[in-house]
Copies of this chain bind each other. A is one copy, B any other.
Amino acid sequence: MVKQLLSESQQDYLKIVLDLINEKKVARTKEIAHRKGVSMPSVTEAMQKLSQENYVQYSAREFIELTPKGEEAALRLTSKYAFLKHFLVDVLGIQDEIADKDACKLEHHLNKSTLDRFILLYQFLTECPKSDKRTINLFKECIKAAEGDFLCDSDCKSCFISSNFPHRFGEKTIHTLLSKLNRGQKGRVIMLGPDSEIRLSLIDKGLLPGSEFHVEEIGDANRPFVVQTDGCLIELDEEAAKMIEVAIEQPE
């Protein structure tokens, strides 16, 4: 007995079919194609294959239905997806359409035990009596600050660039801002400031918490800083450099 696993695409089809049956009583080729963003022949082909493996009840030009096996699979997938979307939207504050896509990806790719840890984190933040209920609200203030909404009564902006906890990057390190370093110094990124646009560009360039770097050129208001992370040169203007909190070795 060979255990046939569903491909990612097949999983998507099953979820879509379930959704359509719930919403509109019947699942039609055209609508499935539309939701999945593929052509109708692709749907026909997929349904034929799924029907061979007994996930759907399908014969040409008749209603597409889920078999018990297919329904079970679809429901498992859907509930994982629903939780993940929930987490992304409610805890992380991700925008709806992006959360949709990412929840779907996560549902496909996350290991069981990792999913469980996300559930645990969710439970912890929203329900655990030991965790301060304010925690999640504080985090939401952070999000607002990161989105540039400083109208909120938090002073997160300064918090982002002035924390100085000793941290996991070693005992003998001190924390400062990248903008204060000299040429030749090495360090490790601890935090990125909240400014949304710069933040995202830094992330895109690969300068994330935990990244090691080396200062190639120091800059000022007119010239850019140039830092290297493992060989990749990144230019930063002063504004960006002031947003990057770093850990450096204690100078002797």
| A residues in contact (CB < 8 Å) with B | 18, 22, 71-72, 75-80, 82-83, 86, 88, 90-95, 98-99, 101-102, 105-106, 108-124, 126-133, 135, 138-139, 141-143, 146, 154, 156, 159-160, 163, 165, 167-168, 190-192, 199-200, 203-211, 229-232
Contacts and interface: CB of A to CB of B under 8 A. Distances in A.
A159 B122 CA distance: 14
A25 to B, nearest CB: 13
The 5 lowest CB-CB distance pairs between A and B, nearest first, are A105-B109, A79-B206, A75-B232, A76-B206, A92-B117
A145 B221 CA distance: 51
Given A112-B200, A127-B165, 15 more contacts: A71-B232, A72-B232, A76-B232, A79-B210, A94-B114, A98-B113, A98-B114, A102-B110, A122-B209, A124-B142, A128-B159, A128-B163, A130-B142, A131-B138, A131-B139
A191 B71 contact: no
A163 B192 CA distance: 35
B139 A156 contact: no
14 contacts: A72-B232, A76-B204, A78-B230, A86-B209, A92-B120, A102-B109, A105-B109, A105-B110, A116-B199, A119-B203, A128-B142, A128-B156, A129-B163, A130-B142
A111 B129 contact: no
B135 A135 contact: yes
A142 B135 CA distance: 15
Contacts of A168: 90, 126
A138 B159 contact: no
A120 B142 contact: yes
A135 B133 contact: no
B139 A121 contact: yes
B118 A192 contact: no
Given A121-B139, A135-B135, A206-B78, A111 B127 contact: no
Given A90-B168, A135-B131, A159-B129, A208 B114 contact: no
Given A109-B109, A159-B130, A93 B117 contact: yes
A116 B232 contact: no
Contacts of A117: 88, 92-94, 143
Contacts of A77: 206
